[in-house]
Amino acid sequence: MLVYLNGEFLPLEQARISPLDRGFLFGDGVYEMVPFYHGIPFLFEEHITRLGRSLQALDIKNPLTKDQWKAIVHTLSEQASLPTHNIYLQITRGAGLSRQHQYEDGLEPTVFAMVTNMRLLSDAEKQTGLRAVTVPDERWQNCYIKSLNLLPNILAIQQAYVQQAYEAIQIHQGYVTEGASSNVFIVKQNILFTPPKTAEILWGITRDFVLSLARKHHIAFEERALNEDELYDADEIWITSSGREVVPITRLNDHRVGDGEVGPIWKKINASYENARNAC
Ligand code: PDD
């Protein structure tokens, strides 16, 4: 597999970084995931803008221009074995001279990119929906930064995995924040709800796109805090992410969501999402 590392395209086996890299030592860096459908990136501008915002929040200079990022993602995409995939982009603050917590000025960021698989739903999963479990949100207060520090997210998804669930929905002080690697929507009486863009969640690109589709289809929506009870009381629950698109959750812990069937509003939005990304 061909990957990109610090200005070069090379086989994965030949890619080397310093053990003093602050991404390796401290998780000091950020990442992005750009979905590609048949050679075309979907919502590329939005992903690169968010990457810039994450870098700025950590005081790391964006090492590349938008056109340079574009050239990298296209070159990697051309080498991908499957027509639909993600391009993973990672930037760390770089390698210091020793392991010290504070960073010196002028470090050279480490830039890494590679193709990763997309996990799209099977037809059977689209018929039945999937199961999610709830877990406490144990993360820091700046989840709008797409940071490499994913330990709480990893422990959350692992809890879901051992319970044979597809996603972990995180609850912070009684309120829904987001999935381990997705945003959360509910439908109640034909109105779509999703938590607002605060620092407690990642400002999902798919989330925003889904809201634009709701607007287009005249589906009423509200961005507001959702308490845990509203999850159990929802007619529909969905989770969204670039790698997984819009996924219907029909079981929450040991409860049915609504009538336990995939809901009509999901069907409408999902069809519209699939049309948009096929046309991109
Ligand atoms: N994750 N919230 C979290 C915590 C996420 O990690 C992600 C995406 C999302 C959805 O964001 P978007 O719609 O922009 O993909 C929300 C990526 C795909 C990942 O970590 O693999």
Q: Is 197 a catalytic residue?
A: no
Q: What is the pLDDT of residues 162-199, one digit of tens each?
A: 999 999 999 999 999 999 999 999 999 999 999 999 99
C-beta of 206 in contact with ligand 1 (< 6 A): yes
Of 70, 146, 267, 268, the catalytic one is 146
- The Å distance, Cα 241 to ligand 1 centre, comes to 5
C-beta of 169 in contact with ligand 1 (< 6 A): no
**Architecture field, domain 2-117:** 2-Layer Sandwich (3.30)
Query: Boundaries of CATH 3.30.470.10 in the chain?
Result: 2-117
Burial class of residue 11 in the structure, from the number of CB atoms within 10 Å of its CB (0-12 exposed, 13-18 middle, 19+ buried) = exposed
- The Å distance, Cα 13 to ligand 1 centre, comes to 27
Rg value, the chain, Cα? 19
| Cβ proximity of 236 and 223 under 8 Å | no
- pTM (2 d.p.): 0.97
CATH classification of 123-278, choosing from 3.20.10.10, 1.20.1110.10, 3.40.50.150, 1.20.1250.20?
Answer: 3.20.10.10
- The C-alpha atoms of residue 94 and residue 83 are separated, in whole angstroms, by 32
Q: Look at residue 262 in the predicted model and tell me its pLDDT.
A: 98
CA 85 to chain centroid, in Å, comes to 14
Q: What angle is formed at CA 204 by the lines to CA 202 and CA 209, rounded to 5 degrees?
A: 160
- The C-alpha atoms of residue 49 and residue 46 are separated, in whole angstroms, by 5
State the Cα torsion 193-179-123-256 to the nearest 10°: -70
| Average confidence (pLDDT) per 10 residues, the chain, 280 residues | 97 98 98 96 98 98 98 97 95 97 95 95 96 98 98 98 98 98 98 98 98 98 98 98 97 98 98 94
Q: Look at residue 280 in the predicted model and tell me its pLDDT.
A: 81
Q: Look at residue 49 in the predicted model and tell me its pLDDT.
A: 98
Query: Boundaries of CATH 3.20.10.10 in the chain?
Result: 123-278
Q: Which residue has the tokens 């319970």?
A: 163
C-beta of 195 in contact with ligand 1 (< 6 A): no
- The C-alpha atoms of residue 143 and residue 224 are separated, in whole angstroms, by 17
Burial class of residue 280 in the structure, from the number of CB atoms within 10 Å of its CB (0-12 exposed, 13-18 middle, 19+ buried) = middle
